[in-house]
Chains A and B, each alone.
Chain A
């Protein structure tokens, strides 16, 4: 854990007993089965888990896109289930499950979101983001004409347009080549250092998580089965890398079979 985390102990995100159940009462599907976690202000926390572990469902509930079945969420000291509109101007997100209108240019898309987030000097802010994220030459191109990597960068620009205090990122470097992905991670590190932003990210890239994150929440079957810093988890499971820990937990093998809080 680095200095940033130890310096700023006030949680930006507090989740308690959060659950989401779908389906009939006789055949319920527990997408998220009662999870608790805190994300300290200014820290980066990763949600790790296989497909269907509940990461995207958790992020959707934090953002208010999905109504929880039970539990509470506080972000920046605001009850998200009751007053989310008070804090939404200070949040933003990016996800591969959403897109920007294809027929609008990149600049037009960002102008619209600048308006929604009441960004002052929107034109200047967009130029600045385009420089930082290296897509200035794409600003007047339709969003639908971009490559997957270019779309990811523009989606990240959308996520940063309001200079959020809390950023929720679902697979932020998916579809990016290693060079661009590395560059995006550097940008997130820089943004965090400059703005003290709190980041919660879901990722399948273990290298990314080890590099960026102060805390890792391991999810399986809608539960948090373990948590800690990446080095602490690697040591706890007697492995060399976080990827090996991930595989142990996903497959219920090695020390994971003994340590897990839920049946594997």
Chain B
């Protein structure tokens, strides 16, 4: 019988496996300049479009004139969340496309470690894409998202957590239903866009949609962002609400992933899935 590992050995081995998976994705990313350009391209196009729209609206409405960056900041934060979710799903899909899941899941890699590695990749891919775009916004439109100070870190990590939660659940869904469910990787997040309150307050929604909006962390983040940029007030209550909900959604996301993983094991879908 194999000797049981101590907790510290177990954690050390676990980190080593997560690092191995990060290395796998880093090789892929670093070896392809087109992949890196793609990470910057779409957010950059969005940012430029919203930048010009903001400039136009600032000359027409006092609201935008007072809080020039509210749309740009909204766009960049929304896109960060979307890119995290997409990055998680793409990192998972890379394994499906290359028919590598079988190799991975007969290795000592555990499903939770696998999920953690794709979450880390989702964050890394987003940082690679969004940091240059935030600098471009400063250069082209004289708006620095970093002007929000430490609150930006709170907003950003709250949205990262929600992106992770949706992303990891989408990975499970694709694992269970195969590449036929691939479009969920690109479409899942847009289901909540109307109630995320990215560009308008929750108050403009019908009452029943407001209830849905307040059950999702992004509404808290974007309301908090507007409170800071428009009124100059840091609403810690909104940030705390967002993080509390995120903890719940992240736990649900992991639970869904593990449940889908077990369903895929029952149905024999881990061997031979691919293009």
Contacts and interface: CB of A to CB of B under 8 A. Distances in A.
Interface majority SS on A: helix, strand, loop or mixed? mixed
14 contacts: A22-B268, A60-B268, A66-B265, A67-B266, A88-B107, A92-B106, A92-B107, A98-B103, A100-B103, A103-B31, A103-B98, A113-B103, A114-B20, A115-B17
Contact of B17 (A20, A63, A65, A116): A116
A78 B28 CA distance: 36
Given A97-B272, A98-B102, A100-B100, A117 B107 contact: yes
B100 A116 contact: no
B13 interface: yes
Given A99-B103, A113-B20, 9 more contacts: A65-B268, A66-B271, A77-B1, A92-B106, A97-B102, A98-B99, A98-B103, A103-B28, A118-B16
A152 interface: no
A71 interface: no
B86 to A, nearest CB: 19
Interface residues of B, number: 39
B26 to A, nearest CB: 10
A98 B19 contact: no
Interface in B79-132: 94-95, 98-110
B116 to A, nearest CB: 14
A86 interface: yes
A103 B23 CA distance: 14
A242 interface: no
A102 B15 CA distance: 25
Contact of B262 (A67, A87, A90): A67
Interface of B: 1-2, 4, 13, 16-17, 19-21, 23-24, 27-28, 31-32, 94-95, 98-110, 262, 265-268, 270-272, 274
Given A77-B1, A117-B107, A101 B100 contact: yes
B24 A78 contact: no
Contacts of B109: 116
Contacts of B266: 66-67
B262 A89 contact: no
Contacts of B98: 99-103
Contacts of A101: 24, 28, 94-95, 98, 100
A108 B32 CA distance: 14
A86 B106 contact: no
Interface residues of A, number: 42
A95 B270 CA distance: 13
A57 interface: yes
B271 A86 contact: no
Contacts of A35: none
B103 A64 contact: no
A64 B101 CA distance: 12
A85 B108 contact: yes
Contacts of B105: 64-65
Given A76-B2, A100-B98, A103-B28, A65 B271 contact: yes
Contacts of A104: 24, 27-28, 31
Contacts of B24: 101, 104, 108, 112
Contacts of B16: 115, 118
B100 A99 contact: yes
Interface in A101-159: 101-105, 108, 111-118, 158
Contacts of B4: 86
A85 B99 CA distance: 21
A76 B28 CA distance: 36
B97 to A, nearest CB: 9
A91 interface: yes
A89 B108 contact: yes
B2 A65 contact: no
A66 B108 contact: no
A65 B106 contact: yes
Contacts of A57: 268
A88 B99 CA distance: 20
Given A64-B106, A65-B102, A90-B2, A99 B23 contact: no
A50 B102 CA distance: 23
B2 A98 contact: no
Contacts of A112: 20-21, 23-24, 27
